[in-house]
Every structure is written in C-alpha cells, then in structure tokens.
Amino acid sequence: MEKEIFKRWFGKDPALVFFQVFFVFGIYIAYASWLKSYIWEPVTYIVFNLPIGLFLIRNSIIILNDKERSMTQLMAARIGILISIMVLLPRVLFITIAMQ
C-alpha cells in the first residue's frame, strides 16, 4: 500500500528515487564545506541535511518492507539508513547543545 501511495506521489519506484536522492545527497556532502563558508550552519542543516536524511530513511524502510527486492537493494537500503543516521545524529546533537 505504501509503495502505491509513493508511486502516486512521485510516479516512480521507491528504489529509483532512493538512489537518485542518495546521489544528490553525495553531491551535497562534497560541497558542504563550500556552503558552510557562506551559510550559517543550522540553516544549512535544516534546509539540506534534515529533509534529505529523513527522506532517505523513509525510502529505505519502504524498500526493506518489500519482500520482492533483491539482496543488493536490501543491502543498499540498510547502508542508506546507517549513513543517514551517522550524518543526522551528530548534527542534531551539535545544534541542540549549541542552542542551550
């Protein structure tokens, strides 16, 4: 059911959107140091990291719940969740501590 809702919203398979967003996220990480010099850190985090990271986690969970996926796609979804958590968690803690 979630897969059908996802296809209706985006018109594509969740795995395809997952890999497209993962590629964009990789490009963002490559240019993150350049952006930080021009944009305040929390703004960069809220605008870029948080939505993309949550989107990756959501798509990974959709892929993991689909039993018709190949082992490669399932492994990519697990790796996507791990990378998203590793990128999001330290920044959440940093911003939380910095705002106190």
- Domain locations along the chain: 2-99
CA dihedral angle for residue 63, residue 65, residue 70, residue 71, rounded to 10 degrees: 100
The verdict on pTM exceeding 0.75 is no
pLDDT (tens place) for every residue of the chain, 100 residues total: 566 666 665 556 666 666 667 666 666 666 665 556 555 666 666 666 677 777 777 777 777 777 777 777 777 777 777 777 777 776 666 666 666 5
DSSP SS3 for 12: coil
What CA–CA distance (Å, rounded) separates 92 from 94? 6
